[in-house]
Structure 1
Amino acid sequence: MNETFERGRDTDAVEEPPFKTLTREEAQALRAKHPPVSPWRVVGSQAIAGLLCAAVVWGVTDRSGAAWSALYGAAAIVLPSALLARGMTRGTSSNPGAAAFGFMFWEMVKIAVAVAMLAAASRVVPDLSWPALLAAMIVCMKVNWLALLWQRRPVGTTKERV
């Protein structure tokens, strides 16, 4: 066996750089360089995607029941997401434990509302079309992934075109 491996150290292992705590100025510069995306912007985009999905379903199927199903499916994503966004942006806590508890609480509320809306779907939507409802839900959920692409560029760092 390799002598360095026997001593408890693997020479092929990649050394991780030491953790560096940021100063206040470095943290502010990092926040300015990578501004956060507003949760309300994501919720609004989900609503727009849901409306577009319902319009497409109505145009393709020419059935009002399928279009209402798609709208209800979008609402089953948008309304709980709006509750989570409201809960998370209402009161910000400097205590990390309270912030984590708040996130978990509002995430559970979001899940409970979504499940309740799905359980009530067959009674609320006449002529329910489950495929249309689920398609709209999937489209609205995938909008969350697009939020990674929406990060605005900070002021003064855009590259000039020559």
Structure 2
Amino acid sequence: MTDRRETRPSAWDDTQDEAAEEDIKALTREEVQALVSKHPPMSPWRVVAVQAAIGAVVVALTWLLTEGQGFVWSALYGAATVVFPSALMARGVGRQAPGMKAGAYVVSFMLWEFGKIALSVAMLALAPKLVPDLSWTALLVSLVLGLKASWLALLMQRWSR
């Protein structure tokens, strides 16, 4: 009977990592510029705009399909729960110094993301007090569709090339 452990590579086998490191090639400045021009970064404001547009569509559909104003206000508040925190984060991340070191940028990004999540949770907690005749269903549908807007923004950027 053979031992199976001997035939499979170990999870701690460093020879695989060394082979992978040899394949890594540093890019020249021209290669980096060509790569960036081929795949330009997406503005966070574009994502916020797509989130706001989707929120407006959901609110309009809610207004057309339902008779209660509570549904419309709930859908509007759900869209706002996505758009306002995203806009705050886009503004905060966009105002960072261009010469900022990578580590500081990552920490700053994470702090803005935490602030975005905290504001969203606070807005959801305040929803029952702020929205008359609150419909959690309408609010959550609007919120989830707004959160999925980043994928639509990425697709739109890809289609526009």
- Is TM-score (shorter-chain normalized) higher than 0.5? yes
Partners of 2:90 and 2:115 lie apart in 1 by 11
Letter in 1 for 2:67: D
1:103 to 103, 109, 130: 109
Normalising by structure 1, we get a TM-score of: 0.83
Partner of residue 138 from structure 1, selected from 136, 144, 157: 144
| 1:59 partnered with 2:64 | yes
Which of 49, 64, 69 in structure 1 is aligned with 2:74?
Answer: 69
Q: Give the Cα separation in 2 of the matches to 1:51 and 1:44.
A: 10
Runs of 4+ in 1 over 2 A off after TM superposition: 150-154
CA distance in 1 between counterparts of 2:86 and 2:150 reads 10
Are the counterparts in 1 of residues 50 and 153 from structure 2 also a CA contact under 8 Å?
Answer: no
> What is the CA distance between 1:133 and its match in structure 2?
0.1
Aligned twin of 1:49? 54
TM-score (norm 2): 0.83
Alpha-carbon distance in structure 1 between the residues aligned to 2:58 and 2:96 = 33
- Correspondence for 1:148: 154
2:147 & 2:75 partners in 1: Cα distance?
A: 13
Q: Secondary structure at the match of 2:148?
A: helix
Deviation at 1:132, TM superposition (A): 0.1
- C-alpha distance after superposition, 1:87-128 (max 9, x if no partner): 111114430111101110000000010001000000100010
Question: What letter matches 1:140 in structure 2?
Answer: G
User: SS of the counterpart of 2:24?
Assistant: coil
Which residue does the alignment assign to 2:39? 34
- Matched residue SS, 1:127: coil
Q: Which has the larger share of helix? A: 2
Give the CA RMSD over aligned residues.
Answer: 2.3
1:51-85 Cα deviation digits (max 9, x unpaired): 11011112111211100100000000100001111
Distance 2:159 2:70 in 1: 42
Unmatched 5+ residue regions in structure 1?
none
Deviation at 1:139, TM superposition (A): 0.7
1:129 partner amino acid:
S
